[in-house]
Amino acid sequence: MAEVTADLAISLDGFAAGPNQTLDKPMGDGVDQKLHQWMFEQPEENAAELAALASPTAFIMGRNMFSPGRGPWDLAWTGWWGPEPPYHAPVFVLTHHPREPLQMEGTTFTFVTDGIHSAMEQARAAATDGHIGIAGGASTLRQYLQAGLVDQLNLHVVGHVLGAGERLFDGLDGLSLEPVSATGNSLVTHLSYRVRR
């Protein structure tokens, strides 16, 4: 069944990243591993959510999810993950700067310069079962929510207050979500919502 899901780890005050993302601080100031500790320290307790994160057969992400740069590409940069990215399906990266597709172990990163709708069309064509995952970050997810192109929103809320950075829900006045499920453990609360239209 064709479906667009989005997963994002956020702080209690709704931030998905801190300010000032750099090569040395991929998640920005004051974040370190706070938002994703649950993935690495409790993989068994969060096995269902981790499996769901990997289940789309095509992904869309913003440039900041792939690179700390903002201007023309450093072609030596191949992502935050090293030679084996965690994505095992095609990935479409939104950017303002053209770049040739990048083949890596298990995936190809395609760089899309003509907007969120073009990336969605390309992801739909590539998704073998129609399941597309919006991988983030907050700005990219916010654009897809504003456009009404997300079916299910999965939030992974951690028990930290960041106080600054990139907040997911800014500018999404009127967004309506229907609760689907809530589970959790000592590091994270998983909240799933259907997006009402």
What mean pLDDT is predicted for residues 77-90? 91
Contacts of 2 (CB under 8 A, 6+ apart): 124, 127, 130, 131
Tens digits of residue pLDDT in 32-66: 889 999 999 999 999 999 999 999 999 999 999 99
User: Where are any strands of DSSP class E within the chain?
Assistant: 3-10, 15-17, 58-62, 91-94, 102-104, 107-112, 131-136, 152-158, 166-167, 177-184, 188-195
Q: With beta carbons less than 8 A apart as the criterion, state whether 29 and 18 touch.
A: yes
Q: Give the mean pLDDT of 94-104.
A: 96
Q: Which two tokens stand for residue 51?
A: 């499996």
Average pLDDT over residues 137-149: 96
- Mean pLDDT over each residue of the chain, to the nearest integer: 94
pLDDT band for 126, please (50, 70, 90 cuts): very high
Q: Does 75 score more than 70 pLDDT?
A: yes
Q: Is the pLDDT of residue 16 over 80?
A: yes
Please tell me the predicted confidence (pLDDT) of residue 1.
Answer: 47
Is the confidence at residue 127, as pLDDT, over 80? Answer: yes
CATH of domain 3-71+85-175: 3.40.430.10
The structural domains of the chain, with segments of one domain joined by +, span 3-71+85-175
Give the pLDDT of residue 23: 82
Of the listed ranges 24-38, 86-100, 177-191, the least confidently predicted one is 24-38
pLDDT of 69 reads 82
Within 8 A by CB and 6+ apart from 182, the residues are 189, 190, 191, 192
Output phi, psi for 131, to 5 deg: -90, 115
